[in-house]
Structure 1
Amino acid sequence: MTKRAVAEAHARPVECYRLDNGRGLAVEVLTYGATLVAVEVPDRDGAVDNVVLRLPNAADYQDRAKNPYVGSTVGRYCRCVAGGAFTIDGVEHHLTRNAGLHQIHGGPEGFDRALWTAETETTADSVAVRLSLTSQDGDQGYPGTLTAETTYRLTADDCLVMAYRATTTAPTVVGFTNHAFWNLGGAGTIDGHTLALNAAHWVDADEDFIPLPGPPRPVDGTDMDYRAATPLDGRAIDAFFVFADDEWAADLRDPRTGRRMVVTTDSPGLGVYTGDFHPRPRTGLCLETGAFPDAPNRPDFPSTRLNPGEVYATRTVHRFDIA
């Protein structure tokens, strides 16, 4: 495990932590945005590549024009909040908007723009970096002072675990995710990859990605059916899928290198984005586990409310192997 300073933000040094499980799997994490900048994985021939999109330097992560949330921890609330507002206990809270009339990914100064504090941990079968942040009452319009943690843990059996935790001083809404762009080829585009999702339903949305009225729609007979491994060639996806059960979430493979990544999570669903509007289109695939879009305004969706005395806790596991 190593640590180095790579830039400066908020008048403090931005640190980069490198974790290595000793079996060829290594990750690098920035304290700026609690950002995952590298996941180094061997292919079937033993060649190691970084399988997440990485910006050229640490300063680029602070430039919104160059960084559409690449690898960052997104919060307080991932995805959209319609109208930039929600109501708790009869009180309407107005959020800082950054997507027209709406808020997306926590607002213009969300968790992806914050400098987190880090500490490391080593156990018999894992190494980890735990990043912490305090978001004050009213930050981006959200009620309650939120104490947040993001932990990246690398295990001896080739898993990367992302775990999130939060507590609050007042009733609020919470939904974190990671916004890494995955490319198991290590370069080029995601065309040639195959994707399978354990999802029988998806959340239909309007042109602003605000969910339409009604329950999630069945994927049967639609181009949203990824229950069997499907080549991504030419397919543009930007949608939220609802898991059929918690046995697994996603199975991404690159036949050219043999790399496979299986995702499991305790979250209710998954945002999938093929990066078609990224500055470098289709160079990575976002698999954003977490809460439903606009759940704070949709009582028919799984609740994202967090009360004082409760703990928000969720985890997602990425297991790497050769298929």
Structure 2
Amino acid sequence: MQETPFCLRVGNLLPYSMSESNTTDFTNPSTFILQGIPGLEASHVWISIPFCTMYIIAILGNFTILFTVKMERSLHEPMYYFLCMLAVTDLVVHTSTLPKMLSIFWFNSREINFSACLTQMYFLHCFLVMESGILVAMAFDRYVAICHPLRHSAILTNPVVAKISLAVVLRGSIVILPFPFLARQWPYCRTNIIPEPYCAHISVVNLACTDTRVSSYYGLFVLVCVMDLDAIFIAVSYTQILRAIFRLPTKDARLKTLGTCGSHLLVILAFYIPGFLVSLIYRFAQNVPLHLHVLIANVCVLMPAMLNPIIYGVRTKQIRGRLLWLLTHKGT
């Protein structure tokens, strides 16, 4: 029976039937087998090059953001605190998936312990939800800065920023907690082969040989009531921001004000648009080969963590200036 195609940034359900994977007669395996990119095993070494490049850029870029914000006292304000949180979540998303992916591509190390698989699943989805929450917090910061500029420092004090940050972390940690707990309850007697290079939530649950609608419905709840609500909140915030900008008297003032949230807008687009496009592909492009689905899904999950530090490094004057100062004064 063909599964219904469905793509979720917090839990990918790839369109494949169980007949496409080898089946075995076992119950609750101690390990799963990660296929990597199904059908392209002979090209894994070549496929690893762009993924390894993305990992290196993400590591260097996000650590550079963290170091620059720490060293530059003028950046010690809410927007850059949230940017540091974004950098940390991007680092965790990459580190929870890419090392294992590269070991599959380079060393054919496909086995992953059942508990390690659930741990990877939790960290991946937990920090993706956190990233969505951080983008909401950054949208709120931009809304206050542009719509209520005289009250910005009074509204977004350090204690308030700390509370918002704690709420984002707790929400991501708690809302994803049922994923591994539910997945651990199901019996697995069909196959232990996961047609992906990491343990996505629904890809694991699909291997269970029982009714897993609870997991599927909860994954849908996370999509609709967490990720979609975040996107709606961001859209409402930027509607108010744009209204405030277009009420400014001069074109120069409008462009200057819009530039203060340009980086955040690009980061939002890099996070939400790829997931939306992949969802459309999974729903309406049924004839797309499985390996293309897997490749596209992986790029959509991992690309934002590489783009975010580049976007902020290039477009944010304070970060760019601090980096140039560090480079030109090194050793002097």
After TM superposition, the score normalised by the length of structure 2 is 0.24
* Greater RCO (Cα-Cα under 8 Å, separation 6 or more): 2
Query: Which is richer in strand?
Result: 1
- Larger CA Rg, structure 1 vs 2: 2
After TM superposition, the score normalised by the length of structure 1 is 0.25
Query: Which is richer in helix?
Result: 2
